[in-house]
């Protein structure tokens, strides 16, 4: 009868309302949730790459006069000691943003620290590039751009998930740091030119892998992923990867010359 059909419909509506209240999702609800998550992730990715682009542009604008104008290059060479201050700011700001989640998520502290980090990285590159011939810098820049583009495409398209290799990469990074310290100590007693070249090659390869790892963590959909709230942290990680690749290539190409 019509009355029985109406009661059955009411029971279905009540049941669906109970499912919603209990946190259960209908297929349509699950689809909407997936769409929302994809939309949030897409906005996060756009924000990260926008911040990264600004950071890279700032560094390019800082380094360009050193490469192009001889008087600026000579001036920077006279004040090479500022690289020590820049390294200190670079280390403190990067460690703070990486280790203190509350600071990395809190506006405007996160952007202030990121700005200081970006400027310190620019100063470091200015001092390094002031000691190198322009063609070496341009060659390293072009190689870095091509390499990073290829890695980004590979990491986003491959079915291979490397987000579970974080611990292995961390251990490798510590090992490379210890190797670098040992080379620094040995340099006081012997010629470590070839060891320095080997270190640059290892660092370059390591951070290429790190770049692929970070790209997959940012894009999401893998075993591990970065939270959309960590956009400053994500941009910082990508910048450090590219920074290390570029400086390693500078050393390798300069050694080749």
The ranges assigned to domains in the chain are 47-256
Do residues 197 and 252 lie in contact, with contact meaning Cβ atoms separated by under 8 Å? yes
Two structure tokens written together for 217 = 């963590």
**pLDDT at residue 108, rounded to an integer:** 85
Q: How far apart are CA 23 and CA 165, in angstroms?
A: 34
Q: How far apart are CA 230 and CA 238, in angstroms?
A: 12
DSSP summary character for residue 107: T
Two structure tokens written together for 96 = 């703070």
State the residue for tokens 């590219």.
Answer: 242
**pLDDT at residue 70, rounded to an integer:** 84
All residue ranges of the chain with pLDDT < 70 are 1-36, 257
**pLDDT at residue 36, rounded to an integer:** 59
Which tens digits make up the pLDDT trace of 5-47? 444 444 544 444 444 444 444 454 544 555 457 788 888 888 9
DSSP summary character for residue 159: S
What is the reported pTM?
0.81
Helix extents (H) in the chain: 2-21, 27-68, 70-78, 82-99, 101-105, 109-130, 134-157, 166-186, 193-219, 231-256
């Amino acid at each position: 009868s019509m009355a029985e059909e109406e009661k059955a419909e009411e029971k279905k509506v009540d049941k669906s309302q109970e499912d919603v209240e209990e946190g259960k999702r209908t297929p349509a609800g699950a689809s909407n949730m997936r769409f929302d998550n994809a939309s949030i992730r897409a906005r996060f990715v756009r924000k990260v790459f926008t911040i990264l682009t600004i950071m890279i542009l700032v560094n390019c604008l800082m380094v360009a006069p050193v490469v192009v104008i001889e008087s600026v290059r000579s001036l920077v060479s006279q004040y090479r000691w500022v690289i020590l201050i820049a390294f200190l700011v670079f280390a403190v700001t990067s460690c703070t943003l990486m280790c203190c989640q509350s600071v990395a998520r809190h506006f405007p502290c996160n952007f202030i620290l990121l700005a200081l980090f970006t400027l310190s990285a620019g100063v470091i590159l200015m001092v390094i590039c002031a000691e190198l011939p322009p063609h070496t810098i341009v060659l390293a820049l072009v190689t870095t751009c091509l390499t990073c583009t290829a890695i980004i495409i590979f990491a986003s398209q491959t079915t291979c998930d490397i987000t579970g290799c974080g611990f292995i990469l961390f251990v490798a990074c510590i090992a490379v740091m210890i190797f670098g310290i040992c080379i620094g100590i040995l340099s006081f007693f012997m010629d470590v030119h070839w060891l320095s070249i080997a270190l640059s090659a290892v660092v370059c390869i390591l951070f290429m892998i790190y770049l692929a790892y970070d790209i997959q963590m940012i894009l999401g959909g893998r075993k591990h992923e970065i939270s959309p709230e960590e956009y400053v942290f994500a941009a910082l990680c990508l910048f450090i990867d590219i920074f290390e690749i570029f400086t390693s290539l500078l050393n390798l190409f300069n050694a080749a010359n």
